[in-house]
Structure 1
Amino acid sequence: MPDAAVFVEAQDLVRHFDVSRPILQRLAVREGKRILRAVDGISFTIPKGTTLSLVGESGCGKSTVARMMVGLYGTTSGHVLFDGRDLKQARAASDQRRRLQMIFQDPYASLNPRWRVADIVAEPIRAFGLAQGRDAVLARVAELLTQVGLSPLDGQKFPHEFSGGQRQRISIARALSSNPEFLVCDEPTSALDVSVQAQILNLMKDLQRRLGLTYLFISHNLAVVRQVSDRIGVMYLGRLVELAPAETLFTIPRHPYTRALMEAIPDLEMTGRTRIPVGGEVPSPITPPPGCAFHPRCPLANDRCRRERPELLAAEATMVACHAVQEGRAG
Structure 2
Amino acid sequence: MNAMPTNIKTADDRTLLSVKGLKKHFAMARPFLNRLIEKEEPQTVKAVDGLDLDIPRGQTLSLVGESGCGKSTVARLIMGLSTPSGGTIEFDGVDISRAPAGHPAAVRQRMQMIFQDPYASLNPRWRVRDIIAEPLRTYGLSGSREEERREVDRLLEFVGLNAKDGDKFPHEFSGGQRQRISIARAISTKPEFLVCDEPTSALDVSVQAQILNLMREMQRELGLTYLFISHDLAVVNFMSDWIGVMYLGRLVEVAPAARIFSNPQHPYTRLLLDTIPDLGMSKRDRAPAAGEVPNPINPPSGCHFHPRCPLANDRCRSEAPTLRTYPSSARVSCHAVEEGRGDMPVVIPPGVGHSMQTAS
When normalised by structure 2's length, the TM-score is: 0.89
Calculate the aligned-residue CA RMSD, in Å: 1.5
Equivalent residues of 2:80, 2:99 under 8 A apart:
no
Instruction: Say yes or no: does 1:72 pair with 2:84.
Output: no
- Measure the CA separation in 2 of the matches of 1:82 and 1:279: 39
2:15 to 6, 30, 42: 6
1:171 alignment partner in structure 2: 182
1:309 alignment partner in structure 2: 320
Instruction: Say yes or no: does 1:111 pair with 2:111.
Output: no
1:61 alignment partner in structure 2: 70
Equivalent residues of 1:52, 1:229 under 8 A apart:
yes
Structure 1 outlier segments of 4+, above 6 Å: none
- Measure the CA separation in 1 of the matches of 2:264 and 2:166: 45
- Cα distance, 1:95 vs structure 2: 1.8
> Which segment drifts farther, 309-318 or 263-272?
263-272
Equivalent residues of 2:19, 2:90 under 8 A apart:
yes
1:223 to 226, 234, 239: 234
- Cα distance, 1:270 vs structure 2: 4.6
1:24 alignment partner in structure 2: 33
Equivalent residues of 2:129, 2:152 under 8 A apart:
yes
- Measure the CA separation in 1 of the matches of 2:227 and 2:304: 24
The CA deviation string for residues 137-160 of structure 1, in whole angstroms up to 9 with x for no partner, is 111001111111111111111111
What secondary structure, in the 3-state scheme, does the structure 1 residue paired with 2:337 have?
helix
- Measure the CA separation in 1 of the matches of 2:115 and 2:332: 29
Instruction: Say yes or no: does 1:208 pair with 2:241.
Output: no
- Measure the CA separation in 2 of the matches of 1:309 and 1:171: 40
What secondary structure, in the 3-state scheme, does the structure 1 residue paired with 2:238 have?
coil
Which letter maps to 1:51? T
What secondary structure, in the 3-state scheme, does the structure 1 residue paired with 2:203 have?
coil
2:342 alignment partner in structure 1: 330
Instruction: Say yes or no: does 1:49 pair with 2:58.
Output: yes
Which letter maps to 2:295? S
Q: 1:194 to 1:141 in 2, by over 3 A?
A: same
Which letter maps to 1:165? G
1:100 alignment partner in structure 2: 111
2:358 alignment partner in structure 1: none
1:320 to 318, 332, 344: 332
Instruction: Say yes or no: does 1:197 pair with 2:208.
Output: yes
Instruction: Say yes or no: does 1:263 pair with 2:274.
Output: yes
Equivalent residues of 1:56, 1:221 under 8 A apart:
no
Equivalent residues of 2:291, 2:308 under 8 A apart:
yes
Instruction: Say yes or no: does 1:149 pair with 2:142.
Output: no
Which letter maps to 1:237? L
The structure whose residues are more often helix, as a share, is 1
Count of aligned pairs between the two proteins: 330
Instruction: Say yes or no: does 1:240 pair with 2:251.
Output: yes
The CA deviation string for residues 273-305 of structure 1, in whole angstroms up to 9 with x for no partner, is 232221111011110100100000011111111
> Which segment drifts farther, 188-197 or 90-99?
90-99
What secondary structure, in the 3-state scheme, does the structure 2 residue paired with 1:206 have?
helix
1:81 alignment partner in structure 2: 90
- Measure the CA separation in 1 of the matches of 2:288 and 2:42: 35
Equivalent residues of 1:208, 1:214 under 8 A apart:
yes
- Cα distance, 1:93 vs structure 2: 2.9
- Measure the CA separation in 2 of the matches of 1:101 and 1:19: 30
The CA deviation string for residues 203-261 of structure 1, in whole angstroms up to 9 with x for no partner, is 11100111111110011122111111110000000000000000011000111111111
Equivalent residues of 2:13, 2:57 under 8 A apart:
no
- Measure the CA separation in 2 of the matches of 1:223 and 1:17: 32
